[in-house]
Amino acid sequence: MHRRTLLAAALASLPAAALAAWPERPLRWLVGYPAGGGTDVLARLLAASLSRRLGQPVVVENRPGAATNIAAEAAARAEPDGYTVFTAGNETLVFNPALYRTLAFDVDRDLRPLGLMARFHLVLAAQPGSAIGSARDFVEAARAQEGRLTYGSPGIGSPHHLAMERLTRDLGIRLTHVPYRGMAPVMNDLMAGVVECGIVDIAAGGAVLRAGRIRPLALCSEARHPSLPEVPTVAEALGLQGFTAFAWQGLTAPARTPDAIAARLTEALAAALAEPAVQARMGEIGLEPLSGGPSEYRAMIEAERAIYWPLIRDLGLRLD
């Protein structure tokens, strides 16, 4: 820790001209999920653009586990020299500080927001053979079964889990939660009829939602999605005006990363997100680019904490 502090102080004291040589070697991009998922695909897409802009390879390193905390801790403890960045979304920055009594790092003190990247649209969905054919049917079935209707999520404290808990709280209904390890098994069991409903993100489940292998009921966004134009929003279908829920992500670095380097990373990220080819690819996989630098990133964190921290407290959710 003393060595990292000295390094950060030395870097911060250098004039901007002395930092012009950065980067002189490859950067690593830490991702808290396995390879192949939406988070990983997004990181690799943007890392390729950053590599071209920075003149050095940006290598994605997957460190899944512990609800992203393994990768987050590695980022928080990394040398603050500009050679480590980390994908941090609402699970890391909003949910985990409320779900865990103790963490080995402090998300506010140890991670520096660089810029927002994307949001994942969430869809309330049901198994295809179910009698639940609409969002209204979902509410009526939940009320008739008094807590016995089951829903799957990719894990306790995931955006999908907490979006469903918000939705059911606001509707005054109760369900039985069946947590899985990831989105793929949730979709498999929805298609097989093992669980009756769930919140599915379009990035992971767009193809099966469009094919009707999982039945979309309502979108948790403020407007309909172009890939599912016939699916109403929650506000339209259920009258919950202003209800929105997303999984979203941004890019962070160790907190003591020098200002000049952080600014270059923020600039390069924004330029990457503005590339037509990057935007087209993100649209293909169901991701919506998010614009905004550090201040917008921090505002997003605070706004979501105001929503989800009371919910997590009221539900009594803990992961340690």
Report whether pLDDT(11) > 70: no
| Ordered alpha helix ranges (H), the chain | 2-13, 38-54, 69-77, 90, 96-99, 107-110, 135-145, 159-171, 183-192, 202-211, 234-238, 259-274, 276-284, 294-315
Do 187 and 198 lie in a common domain? yes
CATH number of domain containing 129: 3.40.190.10
pLDDT of res. 19: 66
- Residue 271 belongs to domain spanning: 2-15+25-118+247-315
- The model's pLDDT over 230-270, given as tens digits with 9 standing for 90+, comes to 999 999 999 999 999 999 999 999 999 999 999 999 999 99
In three-state secondary structure terms, 219 is strand
Residue at which a domain ends, from 238, 259, 293: 238
Do 71 and 101 lie in a common domain? yes
- The model's pLDDT over 204-215, given as tens digits with 9 standing for 90+, comes to 999 999 999 999
Residue at which a domain ends, from 205, 238, 271: 238
Q: Quick check: pTM over 0.85?
A: yes
As a dihedral over the C-alpha atoms of residue 27, residue 5, residue 94, residue 118, rounded to 10 degrees, the angle is -20
Do 268 and 215 lie in a common domain? no
> Mean per-residue pLDDT for 1-27?
63
Q: How many domains does the chain have?
A: 2
Do 135 and 230 lie in a common domain? yes
- The model's pLDDT over 53-86, given as tens digits with 9 standing for 90+, comes to 999 999 999 999 999 999 999 999 999 999 999 9
CATH number of domain containing 308: 3.40.190.150
Do 58 and 198 lie in a common domain? no
320 in any annotated domain? no
Do 136 and 224 lie in a common domain? yes
215 in any annotated domain? yes
20 in any annotated domain? no
Do 260 and 114 lie in a common domain? yes
Do 229 and 134 lie in a common domain? yes
